[in-house]
Amino acid sequence: MRRLPLAGALALLLAGALDTVALAQELPRERLGARFGYVLTSGGLRDSYDDGGNLTLHFAERLQGGFYVEFQLGAIGMGDLQRPELAAKVAEAGGKFAIFALDGIETEMRILYITVGMQFAGNLSELWTGYGGVGLGIYSVSIPWTDGIDSDVFSDQHLGANATAGAMFRFTRTLNLEVGAGLHFFHNSASPYDLYHGFTGGDTNPLIVEVSLGLVLDLR
């Protein structure tokens, strides 16, 4: 008779463990997260600004099985311009860029983007979930400037795309640690009026690599 309480307790513990595994293996209907990444660049973008950082907010809604539709809103910060002589060259285009002819002007580059696309996610183990996705949208290249007295922001919009891949580790019932990588691409012209082209010494169609960490909340 003494074995009955012990057997009952073991059964409850086993049922709880199985329930936790089942919860981990069930894909959530929605996910909301934020990731912060280190951005690696090349070509004229690296020569003008070196590497940068990226912050992305993302939301995914499950359609069927492991397929999700994903929305991303992000910002890539490239820091201050390392080649001030490019500002004078851009000013030669005239018009609104004539302000760059001033001495002592400070500029930086920010790339803002909003994309929508498809993501596939699947369980790698009881606590690990892998994912991969692609998205299309708008990349806006912004050049804030100041001369110490006045300031303004110029921007151009470009059609772009991104691809992401990574894994999420579940450490609570609904919270995950995300480790991933991504590629960003957008098309720009070789026009002297194109901000990205001018402030990177003639670079076009950049490919930007991102490695990131983040937190993801499962919304069930």
| Confidence band, pLDDT 50/70/90 cuts, at residue 5 | low
Q: Residues 61, 215, 119, CA angle at the centre, nearest 5°?
A: 30
**Residue 11: helix, strand or coil by DSSP?**
helix
CA distance 152 to 130: 42
Q: What is the pLDDT of residue 19?
A: 44
The token pair at 26 is 């069930």
Contact between 196 and 181 under an 8 Å Cβ cutoff? The reply is: no
Token pair listed for 167: 């894994």
Q: Please tell me what DSSP assigns to residue 139.
A: E
Cα 118 to Cα 35: distance, rounded to the nearest angstrom: 18
Q: How far apart are CA 92 and CA 100, in angstroms?
A: 9
Residues 167, 128 contacting (CB under 8 angstroms): yes
Domains and CATH numbers, the chain: 27-219 (2.40.160.20)
Residues 6+ apart with CB under 8 A from 11: none
Q: What is the pLDDT of residues 69-112, one digit of tens each?
A: 999 999 999 988 888 888 777 777 655 666 555 556 778 999 99
Please give the helix or strand (H or E) that residue 64 lies within, else none.
Answer: strand 52-64
* Residue 26 confidence (pLDDT): 81
CA–CA gap between residue 8 and residue 13 (Å, rounded): 9
What is the Cα–Cα distance from 216 to 128, expressed in whole angstroms? 13
pTM of this prediction?
A: 0.84
What CA–CA distance (Å, rounded) separates 27 from 123? 8
Over residues 55-68, the mean pLDDT reads 96
128-171 pLDDT per residue, tens: 999 999 999 999 999 888 767 777 788 999 999 999 999 999 99
User: Which residue matches tokens 């359609």?
Assistant: 63
